[in-house]
Structure 1
Amino acid sequence: MHKVGQKSIPVHLFPALTVNQRTATMEKFRRVSPFRLAALIRAQKDPKLAFQFFLNPNSNVNPSSKSNQRPYSYSLLSYDLIITKLGKAKMFDELELILSKLKQETRFKPTEIIFCNIITYYSRAHLPERAIHMFDEIPSFHCQRTVKSVNTLLNGLLICREFDKMWKILLGFDWFACPDVCTYNIMINACRMQNDMQGAWKVFDEMRKKGILPNAITFSTLITGLCACLKVKDALELKKDMIRVYNIKPTKYVYASLIKGLCECNELNLSFKLKDEMFENDVEVDSSIYTTLISGIFKVGRTDEVNVVLEEMKRNGCIPDTATYNALIAGYCAAKRLDLALEFLNELEEKAFKPDVISYNVLIRAYFNEGKLREAMDLFEDMPRRGCKPDVLSYRIAMQGLLSEMKLKEVVFLLDEMMFKGYAPHLLTVNKLMSLLHEEGDYELMLEVVNSLAKGNYIDDNCWRLAVSTIFAKHEAVNFHSVFDALTNSISEAH
């Protein structure tokens, strides 16, 4: 019996072979086929190991064997799989090595979608120059560029906010392909993101002049931009043209933008009419629509209508999510109904959706603003038990609230805890704390603050000045060297 990997091959399967022929046959059995390599790469979760599999598919074969000297016949699928894994893992140096091997392939031509994916990986990693270079290199792989790769590059540059480069690509578009509706949608979105709705209209007009019909995404992008600029009347007119002229039904995203824009303009009644229109046209009304309406209700002070909306949500089988509860908590905090805000926070904990840190921060700030120091700190300290860790904003809110009540010892304690967790305090809060300690001449607390700030290397010139002047005011008889030694010893202990 001859062992090949984990399996044994009976000698009688090739009795007429010589020893050398038998060895060569077994080596052939041991070689990993292109199909097997693709399966190994697909199954390997670790991109580093997958990369090693790709580079050394037959590492277990006898190095002295002549069969091992032949170039491995990689499949296009293997290239596609390893490129995907390396791109998602942002292992771009390794990806470049794979591309150099792919460029040397003569048995097949890679498809354009592979390069589109690579451009997307570079764009998501905010490497626009690499994305452009990959686009320029596509022909060297014997692959023709089409509108698909141009659009991918434009969208990638949009992700990187490289707007000027996008226009340059668009000007040279005719060298590669003819722009399509997707091309113009990307450029309209670029204008929207720059709040340039005049530019967006120019792109829209050029699109129509070239006989390219807009689609639902075109109108959704334009309407979203108009609503963001509070040009809601223009957005509503465009919605009418969308239906009447182009026979395109408004999508959920169109309605969501319009409802949000109307709520921002305090046109609440019209917002509710659009919501009813969504039901009439069989457009999904999800929790985000109701959340926007709830925020709008609080904005215009019609708080009594909140329960009506919540009841309608339940009636229509729409479950309030964390964002909905956050809107309720924020709304009731703004209305100074902190009891109801706390009720909704507690109710949210009982639901499938858990409160996020925003839920707590809004209510904690509201408690401080109303002078309810104890309630604010109880909720802050209770956050970990409730399954939500305080973030940097939580600490900053608590520090500012305690500082406004002159609870300096508590502020210093929070500062130390904050620095220990790696959170940076707000500079204005630190300066105010140092100033108050200086005014009170609290030498001991001042040293504690310096010690805490030193842990995060957060001491600035103003902190040094106040610390030194405080110590001089407290101990007029001491010399400068004594003061300096006290401060440097404090910093050394912190490290």
Structure 2
Amino acid sequence: MARERAGVLKGLIQMESLHCSQFHVWTSLKSACSTSTLYKLVENDDEELGIYAKKLKHRDWLTSNELLKILKPLNDPLLAIRIFNRAAQRPDYKPNETIYSVIFNKLACVGQFDIIEELLEQMKREDCRCTDSFFLELIKMFTRKAHNPDRALKLLFEMRDFKCWPTVKTFNFALNVFVGAKEFEKAYKLYLRAPEIAISPNTSSVNILIKALCRLSKIDAAYELLYEMPKQGCYPNEITYGILMNHLCTEGKVEEALKLFKSMTEYGCAPDTVIFNILISGLSNQGKITEAIELFESMQSKGLAPTKGSYHAILYGFLCNRKFIEAKAVSDQMLSNNYCPSFFSYKSLISGFCEEGLVDDAIRVLEQMVNQNIVPRMGIWDLLLKTILKNSCATNTVLLVKEIDPAVY
């Protein structure tokens, strides 16, 4: 065992010559450690470990929590591993996943996944008991920091070697990783292999696959999966329908999305605000503002409070259809419900009113914009000034100058 740990330490020292730039980061995080010092740390362990060596020696019994108190504050992964190796030589050493998690996190931050692999083998030999949550975090490390989803997938199936079986949550995370990376074939193969690791896919698992099929524009296959869900012991939820409806609306198939919306109740699934927002936005984008408003009112009648997204969907619909008076009314309603319109909304309103020659309305929107601490850009001031001059509104010109610089008057 001592020889195996020495191998890990040797790997760290070799790593110094191969990745001296990363070692520079490590040593800058702690008190200065030159290259020669790194080698000296191995030759004169007790002297260089200093206070840490005393902490590891003076106790008759060193608990895991006491070891963690020593390891957690350390910024130098090399020092953390050396302290860990020293602690592992004690007769009272008991390996556990929490200690390894701390070490793995420190190594992952500097990209040393080869050493993590060696330590994983060491854990296996030590018969270290691990939970699903430990492997979930490790899988996240391999995907987010190592950018190696294939290794993460392999680890998912290696969990059995540690006498640990993945939960459906961990399985779904791995599944979602491949969909996010647009490796849809691998995601589907993983889904089919679920029984190998005693996983029964749930609604979230199917939702991830439906999302993948929508991204591939295979809507018919997504529908088939939707209708097969009850046979697999799971039922669609509002997220399932939201994924499908969002794809349909993006493709301009709003009528088909509305049919799907009406069929939701067949599975006892009630639409939420997100689904209403998707449909309202889809209708608004197609210029069907009347139907969008009806759906907006229907949402409220069902006891669902409109969100900022709900108001913006209606607001953008009016703006796209050049109904600026109605759009201004929606923006006022938003403010009365403590929602602030976006910069784009204000800019479009001011531009629209200027084009229509409604200078007073444009200035009122500008004042509202400033009151919401949204800074108008020079293009907006320029447009307003040109519109005022074009319409010979001397009074409004003075008001606008005062708005730009109150110190003038």
TM-score if structure 1 supplies the norm length? 0.57
1:27 paired residue number? 57
Matched, 1:327 2:345: yes
Match for residue 289 of structure 1 among 310, 313, 325: 310
Equivalent residue in structure 1 for 2:138, among 111, 118, 134 = 118
- Aligned mates of 1:97, 1:218 — CA distance in 2: 41
Match of 2:50 in 1: none
Aligned match of 2:242: 220
Distance (whole Å) between structure 2 residues aligned to residue 225 and residue 57 of structure 1: 53
Name the SS for the 1:285 alignment partner: coil
152, 161, 169: which one pairs with 1:148? 169
Match of 1:299 among 313, 320, 324: 320
5 Å matches for 1:455-474?
Answer: none
Partner of 1:456: none
Contact map agreement 2:248 2:254 (CA 8 A) in 1: yes
Deviation of 1:73 after TM superposition, in Å, equals 2.5
The Cα offsets for residues 81-132 of structure 1, whole Å up to 9 and x where unpaired, read as 44456557765445434433333332x4211222222223333354222222
- 2: distance between equivalents of 1:101 and 1:201? 47
Residue type at the aligned position of 2:250: A
Aligned equivalents of 1:365, 1:57: Cα separation in 2:
66
* TM superposition shift of 1:348: 5.0
CA distance in 2, matches of 1:190, 1:362: 42
CA contact (8 A) 1:120 1:156 kept: no
Deviation track 1:378-431 (CA, whole Å, cap 9, x = no partner) reads: xxxxxxxxxxxxxxxxxxxxxxxxxxxxxxxxxxxxxxxxxxxxxxxxxxxxxx
Q: Residues 196-245 of structure 1: CA distance to partner in whole angstroms, max 9, x if unpaired?
A: 22221121122233342112211121221221122212222222222x21
TM-fit CA distance, 1:314: 2.4
The Cα shift of 1:75 comes to 2.8
Q: Return the offset for 1:142.
A: 2.4
Amino acid at match of 2:82: N
Pairwise CA distance, 1:342:
9.0
The aligned residue for residue 127 of structure 1 is 148
Mapped pair 1:259 → 2:259: no
1:178 positional shift: 2.2
Find the partner of 1:56 among 72, 75, 82. 82
Q: Percent identity?
A: 23
Whose radius of gyration is greater, 1 or 2?
Answer: 1
Distance 1:26 1:210, change over 3 A: closer
Conservation of the 8 A alpha-carbon contact between 1:37 and 1:53: no
Q: Offset at 1:189? A: 0.9
Flag the 1:345–1:167 CA change in 2: closer, same or farther, 3 A.
farther
Q: Measure how far apart 1:351 and its partner are.
A: 3.6
| CA deviation string 1:178-202 (max 9, x = no partner) | 2221110110111122232222112
Q: What's 1:316 paired with?
A: 337
What does residue 181 of structure 1 align with?
203
Counterparts of 1:90 and 1:255, CA distance in 2 = 44
Per the TM alignment, residue 39 of structure 1 is displaced from its structure 2 partner at its CA by 4.0
Query: Per-residue CA shift, 1:115-169, capped at 9, x if unaligned?
Result: 2222233333542222222223222222224433332211111121111111222
Change (3 A) 1:309 1:168: same
Selected match of 2:230 from 208, 211, 215: 208
CA distance, structure 2, for counterparts of residue 366 and residue 294 of structure 1: 22
SS in 1 for 2:338: coil
Secondary structure of the corresponding residue to residue 267 of structure 2: coil
Conserved? CA contact 2:252–2:282, under 8 Å:
yes
How far does the alpha carbon of each residue in 1:16-43 deviate from its partner, in whole angstroms, 9 at most, with x for none? xxxxxxxx9993428753112334555x
The residue that corresponds to 1:422 in the other structure is none
Unmatched 5+ residue regions in structure 1? 1-23, 62-66, 371-495
Cα separation, 1, equivalents of 2:296 and 2:172: 34
1:195/1:229 contact within 8 Å kept: no
In structure 2, the gaps of 5 or more residues are 1-53, 388-409
Write the distance in 2 (CA, Å) between the matches of 1:127 and 1:363: 47
Structure 1 distance, partners of 2:362, 2:119, is 56
> 2:61, 2:92 within 8 Å by CA — same for their partners in 1?
no
Residues 315-367 of structure 1 show CA distances to partners (whole Å, capped at 9, x for unaligned) of: 233344xxx22233245447765988898678656546x66xxx859869999
User: In structure 2, what residue type is equivalent to 1:224?
Assistant: N
Contact persistence 1:87–1:118 (CA under 8 A): no
> SS where residue 185 of structure 2 aligns?
helix
Residues 95-104 or 166-175, more deviating = 95-104
Task: Identify the structure with the greater helix proportion.
Answer: 2
**Offset of residue 295 of structure 1:** 1.4
Q: Given that residues 322 and 352 in structure 2 are in contact (C-alpha distance below 8 angstroms), is that contact kept between their aligned partners in structure 1?
A: no
**What aligned pairs does 1:375-454 form with structure 2 within 5 A after superposition?**
none
Matches of 1:164 and 1:277 in 2, distance apart? 40
- 2:37 corresponds in structure 1 to none
C-alpha spacing 1:113/1:270, structure 2 compared with 1 (3 Å): same
CA contact (8 A) 2:249 2:282 kept: yes
Give the structure, 1 or 2, with the largest relative contact order (CA under 8 Å, sep 6 or more): 2
